[in-house]
């Protein structure tokens, strides 16, 4: 056999992974192979493999680079058909090398997980293999986007690695994400039934570990491609600006919606943003607040919004933490932040205070204050007290604060404020309860109307709902060249 034919045969064998039988078994589980996943997520004909001949059958992982809609993107894909995609010294070095290349080139990386875990035959050395990958996750965090696709098993230390990514997409029915195995859980949990109690896509999306879910491999990889279209390649680039998409409905519809008591926040966002451009992040986790990426006249922005329908009891600790993580993501990749506010405040509950509500709120406000990206708040309903300060205040965090005519702004819960100011008059009345109701009705609008806040300079302008899109785009476009001088320090001392 001549040398050329030998190379062709060797590469063909390597491309087969674990062989035809194991590939067929993968397909029978409605899963793509590692190579098929790469070919699906990377532009056709653009993939260049790196380290294809390292180890047996590529060492159990495919690594390389290509383009996603023309933009340089790196990828690694664990090959379950080859020794179950188990982590060993060879494939961990391949993974770390491709992560290094992504960091040096300033390009995003897509990480596709499908592995039985560590190769125990390598003994304690495999701990070092995991450790190197985790360190690279930390180095890349906030520097270049990391998108993890959980297409199969991702357990133990690998689950920590995946969770360190900026976005984690779990495939329904086949994705598994947990640290402790079902067997270990069964030893300590009397009511344990099966993995679906904690390690699948549904539970992952509800507890916030998985930001997005997909019905199968192809949909998950399409979501990853769409995210690449919304994100800058690295932390040194500005928010991505593409051609503006058309509006889904006339802007004038917002004027009517603003009068509704129980509006749909998704409807409002669809009117403000480009047509069908919202990618909701952590949509199944803590629904009283919404976080997502959206296009506004072609510019990618990060949206934080309180959902009035879901938010009847106020914002709880876990919802605050959801907002904090998202704000940190936007800050890392220069994504302008739009905060849409309609909430009575933080949840009033003894357990919330005992569990550190003040600390969680401080983390969110610190993150927003420290973020140097353009930050605009739009008050469309209630904004009271500490919730106003945290989510809308230009003195505390935001560059510009707008309000709709329907906004209600107050130093605290309006009824409590009014009762405190007119306490003596209420108590001296023959019928205190009736007097209290009369005074609240008389002074309610006076204490909350946005015109008073505008007169005092607390908000920058009151705008018509129908002009929200054009005004928000204009101010975010203006703020794109924003520069902030920081005092020398390593970082703040508030733990996040």
312-331 confidence digits (pLDDT tens): 788 999 999 999 999 999 99
Q: Please report where in the chains the tokens 């180095």 appear, as a residue.
A: 139
pLDDT of residue 11: 74
- pLDDT class for 443, splitting at 50, 70, 90? low
Domains of the chain: 3-230 (3.90.226.10), 253-479 (3.90.226.10)
Strands of the 109-113 sheet, one edge to the other: 48-49, 61-68, 71-78, 109-113, 146-150, 167-171, 212-214
Per DSSP bridges, beta strands 61-68 and 48-49 are antiparallel
| Rounded CA separation 338/221 (Å) | 27
Largest CA distance in the chain: 108
Contact 437/430 with Cβ under 8 angstroms? no
Contact 61/78 with Cβ under 8 angstroms? yes
| Rounded CA separation 495/394 (Å) | 23
pLDDT of residue 273: 93
Lowest mean pLDDT among 158-162, 260-264, 379-383: 260-264
Which tokens sit at 473?
């785009």
What integer is the mean pLDDT of 169-195?
Answer: 81
Return the SS3 of 154.
strand
| Rounded CA separation 132/201 (Å) | 27
The predicted model scores a pTM of 0.90
Q: Which of 252, 322, 245, 317 is nearest to 281 (CA)?
A: 322
Lowest mean pLDDT among 1-5, 13-17, 340-344, 346-350: 13-17
pLDDT of residue 56: 74
Q: Which of 193, 194, 204, 197 is nearest to 171 (CA)?
A: 204
Q: Please report where in the chains the tokens 């940190």 appear, as a residue.
A: 328
What integer is the mean pLDDT of 425-441?
Answer: 67
pLDDT of residue 269: 94
pLDDT of residue 248: 47
pLDDT of residue 435: 64
User: Is residue 466 pLDDT above 60, yes or no?
Assistant: yes
Q: Which of 418, 413, 409 is nearest to 391 (CA)?
A: 409
143 vs 182: which has the higher pLDDT: 143
Which tokens sit at 86?
């188990």
What integer is the mean pLDDT of 445-466?
Answer: 89
| DSSP letter (8 states) at residue 60 | G
148 vs 308: which has the higher pLDDT: 148
Contact 359/398 with Cβ under 8 angstroms? no
Continuous segment of H or E residues that includes residue 231: none
Return the SS3 of 241.
strand
152 vs 2: which has the higher pLDDT: 152
What integer is the mean pLDDT of 156-161?
Answer: 93
């Amino acid at each position: 056999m001549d040398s050329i034919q030998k190379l062709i045969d060797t590469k063909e064998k390597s491309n087969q992974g674990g062989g035809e039988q194991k590939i067929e078994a993968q397909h029978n589980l409605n899963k793509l192979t590692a190579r098929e996943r790469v070919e699906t997520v990377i532009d056709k004909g653009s993939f260049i493999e790196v380290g294809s001949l390292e180890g047996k059958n590529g060492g159990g992982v495919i690594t390389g680079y290509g383009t996603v809609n023309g933009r340089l993107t790196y990828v690694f894909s664990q090959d379950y058909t080859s020794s179950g995609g188990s982590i060993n010294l060879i494939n961990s070095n391949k993974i770390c090398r491709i992560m290094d290349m992504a960091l040096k080139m300033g390009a995003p990386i897509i990480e596709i997980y499908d592995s039985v875990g560590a190769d125990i035959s390598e003994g304690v050395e495999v701990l070092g293999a995991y450790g190197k990958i985790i360190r690279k996750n930390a180095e890349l965090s906030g520097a270049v986007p990391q998108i993890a696709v959980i297409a199969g098993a991702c357990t133990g230390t690998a689950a920590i690695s995946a969770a360190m990514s900026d976005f984690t997409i779990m495939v329904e029915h086949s994705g598994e994400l947990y640290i402790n195995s079902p067997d270990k859980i069964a030893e300590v949990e009397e009511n344990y039934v099966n993995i679906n109690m904690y390690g699948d896509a549904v539970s992952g999306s509800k507890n916030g570990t998985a930001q997005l879910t997909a019905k199968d491999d192809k949909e998950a990889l399409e979501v990853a491609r769409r995210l690449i279209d919304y994100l800058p390649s690295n932390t040194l680039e500005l928010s991505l600006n593409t051609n503006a998409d058309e509006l889904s409905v006339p802007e004038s519809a917002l004027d009517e919606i603003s009068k509704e008591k129980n509006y749909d926040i998704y409807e409002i966002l669809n009117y403000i943003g480009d047509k069908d451009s919202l990618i909701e992040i952590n949509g199944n986790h803590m629904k009283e607040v919404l976080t997502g990426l959206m296009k506004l006249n072609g510019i990618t922005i990060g949206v934080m919004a309180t959902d009035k329908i879901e938010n009847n009891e106020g914002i709880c600790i876990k919802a605050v933490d959801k907002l904090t993580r998202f704000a940190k993501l936007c800050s890392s990749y220069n994504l302008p932040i739009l905060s849409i506010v309609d909430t009575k405040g933080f949840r009033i509950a003894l357990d919330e205070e005992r569990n550190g509500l003040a600390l969680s709120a401080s983390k969110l406000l610190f993150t927003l204050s420290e973020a140097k990206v353009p930050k605009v708040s739009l008050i469309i309903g209630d904004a009271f007290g500490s919730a106003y300060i945290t989510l809308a205040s230009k003195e505390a965090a935001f560059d510009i604060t707008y309000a709709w005519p329907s906004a209600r702004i107050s130093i605290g819960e309006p009824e409590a404020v009014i009762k405190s100011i007119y306490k003596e008059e209420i108590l001296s009345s023959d019928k205190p309860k009736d007097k209290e109701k009369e005074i609240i009705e008389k002074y309610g609008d006076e204490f909350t109307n946005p015109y008073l806040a505008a007169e005092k300079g607390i908000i920058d302008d009151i705008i018509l709902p129908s002009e929200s899109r054009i005004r928000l785009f204009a101010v975010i476009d203006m703020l794109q060249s924003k520069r902030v001088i920081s005092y020398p320090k390593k970082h703040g001392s508030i733990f996040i």
